[in-house]
Structure 1
Amino acid sequence: MGGSEKTDAKVDQIKGRAKETVGHAVGNERLEAEGRGDQAKGDARQSVEKAKDAVKDVIKDD
């Protein structure tokens, strides 16, 4: 996983968790939804980077 991409994915996940938690605490459904969206974005980025790493490992092993 590339350093910058990995960091971006983690930032999205953490930011999403924070937004969701704050939104829930203050009763703001929009903020909660944004938080879930940010988490999903981070999860997707992380999955893409892991897939890239897996492909690189397969190619490297050949």
Structure 2
Amino acid sequence: MRHADWKDLVMIKLCACAAGVMWGLALPKKLHKAAAFTVTALFTATYLPEIMKFFKVNRL
């Protein structure tokens, strides 16, 4: 990650997003609400600390 630039990180995030959408489309309808809750919790638990670290390091 030390040698990655912003373009590499965007590509990784887009790939993960696409994989998540494909996985979500494969779920039965009765599991969509549970999956949406789980994904929202996972996103919050992982993305918020990363963005906080980004702002702390870059002091924007």
For normalisation by structure 2, the TM-score amounts to 0.44
For normalisation by structure 1, the TM-score amounts to 0.43
Q: Which has the higher contact order (CA 8 A, sep 6+)?
A: 1
Determine which structure has the larger helix proportion and give its number: 1
